Amino acid sequence: MKSPHSGREPSRSARLSPTSSRRALRRYVVIGSVAVLVGGVPVTVLLTAGGSQTTGSEVAASAHLRGQQKPARRQANARAARYKWANAPINGGGFVTGLVFNPKRKNLAYARTDIGGAYRWNAKTGSWIPLTDWIGESNSNLLGIESLATDPVNPNRLYLAAGTYTRPWAGNGAILRSTDQGARFTTIPLPFKLGGNEDGRSMGERLAIDPSDNRVLYLGTRHDGLWRSADYGSTWRKVASFPVTGSTSSGVGVSFVTFGKSRGQGPTKTIYVGVADSGTSLYRSTDGGASWSAVPGQPTGLLPHHGVLASNGQLYLSYGNAPGPNGVTAGAVWRLTTGTGRWRNITPAADSSGYRYGYAGLAVDPRHPKTVMVATLDRWWPHDEIYRSTDQGTSWKAISPRAVYDNSAAPYVGRSIGHWIGTLAIDPFAPGHVIYGTGSGIWGSDDVTNADRGAATHWSVRAKGLEETAVLGLISIPGGAPVISALGDVGGFAHTNLRKEPPTNFTNPTFANTTGIDFAQKATRVVARVGTGNQAKGGYSTDGGRRWTPFTGTPRPGAQAGSIAVSADAATFVWTPSGDHAYYSRDRGATWNSSQGLPANAQVVADRANPGVFYALAGGTLYSSTDAGATFAPRATSLPDGSLKAVSGAQGDLWIAAGDSGLLHSTDGGATFSTLGTVTTARGIGFGKPAPGARYQAIYITGTIGRVSGAFRSVDGGTTWLRITDDRHQFGALGSAITGDPNTYGRVYMGSNGRGVLYGIPR
């Protein structure tokens, strides 16, 4: 499987926007307005910026009757128009890079992901609660969680080291601090960048709380050495005495921080820090961080992935020859007896396949310090493995040969151990309870101790509520599945039930990434999709996306990905492969002919009323075809590029969500366009069932109106708008994937870069 998320880059802006208490009194400053209808009465919604009770900018909307003061009843009506948000469940779908149990409070556990934020476990519902949906477009870099720490002294305290990329255009990282287990956060900006979606992202934990003095935290970075806070993360100083002050040979810096046993009051004196360097990779301080030295006798040539200190003084380390999650071809597991300084290689015996791999996920049973578990990394054949030892690694038992896998909660993952097992955790209150993260979610067992007596262990998908797919496209079909998704890494799904995970993802062909999807407006059961993978790069369905048939032809050797458009009568497919020109097929993908008159990478859409008409946008020019995609001719020039969409039921009705150039509309097939001045930025646009009494489709956009970003709805053709996301539900950088439901007014489906397929319904 290819590297999930490696190519996904969020918005490059960087504004911090933490949440604050709902009980706090706020003052608001008017920054703009839009017109909406409240209870059938014309109302101006003033977009206002929050006041003194926040540590960042917080946006709210309050209704003001024109020419009057705002009555409480009218303001309540405006708030009632807001949306309730949920996920169309997939359960997982992305790389879970860290899993941590709190050692003091039962059933308190957290998960971190590389692009989808952090989650807290809800034992009552058996599901994960998203904690970082309040992060918006301008600070979406914080949705990549580099590390997390749950306080061993005060379980209500939680810290997230947030920052997705260390590249020059990315914003600096931040510490997100909570005193209520992630219900609310304070944002503490850091003077350096973090890399939650870069190589080595499942190493850790890089952030650690001193169990003897929970005011003290250490944070290891990729390029800026080791940092320390002595005031619950409020302020940070670089540990000048630490030998590694910048990057390392691997490029990923510090890989973990862990504390030794406390021997009195005050901060712990002994601290171990792993560094992803093939030379010296383990350092120790015995004076509370005042001085450091390399631990004698340590192995060389490999990079430590995890380091876990057992209560009996044994320090376990997993190693690979690369940071991972890909490219690891060698590794080992070592144990250091900290009291004597003796090292021992405890690597499980190599299997007979001859495949080369490393080790990553590592856990020690807090109740039974001689029990340790470790996972392989990049053992692609026959599959990865988890080993368990009850004698400090002297002997090991492989878990998978007698494991039973129940994938009913996420059938698309298959009945196998999974891949990229970069994190592994043993419940401190239940030794049989183990969870581990993979490249597509979480598995867990409640009877792993069965392995100690040679009996079968039972595993099930434990990713309910954790949605981490990147959404590349969405469609909603009249009379069909509520939403069909085009996704990165896992292909996509026909979501026939918004409360239940689909029975399978797209197959025949199976894609890694579905990059384009469309349906026929007048023959709605015909759907086509294109993407990337090891099978055919395109396919079609005649039953609304449930079953598929691969294209038997291809426009040219190597053609893949790109976008596809389906004529209103399903007679013509127009495919624009990535980096290529458009091609059309009249026989559902068996043969393809080049469309004439278009430059490469043109975005082609079908007219939703006239089967013979297609449109295309490329290089600022709008083209049209009246011969079902065979030839195109220019219609309008000097346009901004963006997401081109056609409205169902009206020939020639086109919209362009043109990013920072706003929102454009044409009713004459693209000959002329008008710009809607109310919309500052438009990332994506979609359409749904008209409001009761309205004639025009409900319009949904992602973007900015005034200075407020989010998702908006218009029921009058774009004259007035209502914000439908809110400050606690922003979901990072919302892109172009958005569509209304043609069957249910008000319901909208929205894609995210790491929070899965979201849907909203009016409250």
The residues annotated with a catalytic role in the active site are: 114, 489
The distance from CA 414 to its chain's CA centroid, rounded to whole angstroms, is: 21
Total residues found in the chain within this entry: 763
Question: What does the alpha-carbon distance between residue 467 and residue 130 come to, in Å, rounded to a whole number?
Answer: 9
Region for 422 from its dihedrals, namely left if φ exceeds 0, alpha if ψ lies in -120 to 50, beta otherwise: alpha
Question: What does the alpha-carbon distance between residue 298 and residue 179 come to, in Å, rounded to a whole number?
Answer: 38
Locus of tokens 């919604």: 45
Sheet with 372-377: list strands edge to edge. 358-364, 372-377, 386-389, 397-398
Helix (H, G, I), strand (E, B) or coil at 242: coil
Cα–Cα–Cα angle for 636, 640, 646, nearest 5°?
A: 65
Query: DSSP readout, 253-266?
Result: -EEEEEE----SSS
Contact 670, 653 (CB under 8 A): no
Residue 91 CA neighbour count, 13 Å, CB half = 25
Helix (H, G, I), strand (E, B) or coil at 78: helix
CB atoms under 10 Å from CB of 68, counted, come to 8
Residue 25 CB burial class (10 angstroms; 0-12, 13-18, ≥19): exposed
CB atoms under 10 Å from CB of 667, counted, come to 16
Helices and strands in the chain, H and E counts: 1, 59
Locus of tokens 């309730």: 84
The residue among 9, 755, 1 whose CA lies nearest residue 325 is 1
Question: What does the alpha-carbon distance between residue 163 and residue 117 come to, in Å, rounded to a whole number?
Answer: 10
DSSP state for residue 77 in the 8-state scheme? H
Helix (H, G, I), strand (E, B) or coil at 631: strand
Q: Structure tokens of 261?
A: 């046993």
DSSP state for residue 729 in the 8-state scheme? B
Contact 730, 135 (CB under 8 A): yes
Question: What does the alpha-carbon distance between residue 81 and residue 295 come to, in Å, rounded to a whole number?
Answer: 61
Question: What does the alpha-carbon distance between residue 3 and residue 439 come to, in Å, rounded to a whole number?
Answer: 9
Cα–Cα–Cα angle for 14, 17, 22, nearest 5°?
A: 175
Question: What does the alpha-carbon distance between residue 15 and residue 47 come to, in Å, rounded to a whole number?
Answer: 18
Question: What does the alpha-carbon distance between residue 740 and residue 721 come to, in Å, rounded to a whole number?
Answer: 15
DSSP state for residue 595 in the 8-state scheme? P
What is the dihedral sign for C-alpha 503, 509, 511, 516? negative
Helix (H, G, I), strand (E, B) or coil at 319: strand
Contact 721, 36 (CB under 8 A): yes
Question: What does the alpha-carbon distance between residue 365 and residue 387 come to, in Å, rounded to a whole number?
Answer: 13
Region for 489 from its dihedrals, namely left if φ exceeds 0, alpha if ψ lies in -120 to 50, beta otherwise: left
- 19, amino acid identity: T
Contact 749, 733 (CB under 8 A): no
Q: What values do phi and psi take at 669, rounded to 5?
A: 70, 25
DSSP H stretches of helix in 381-505: none
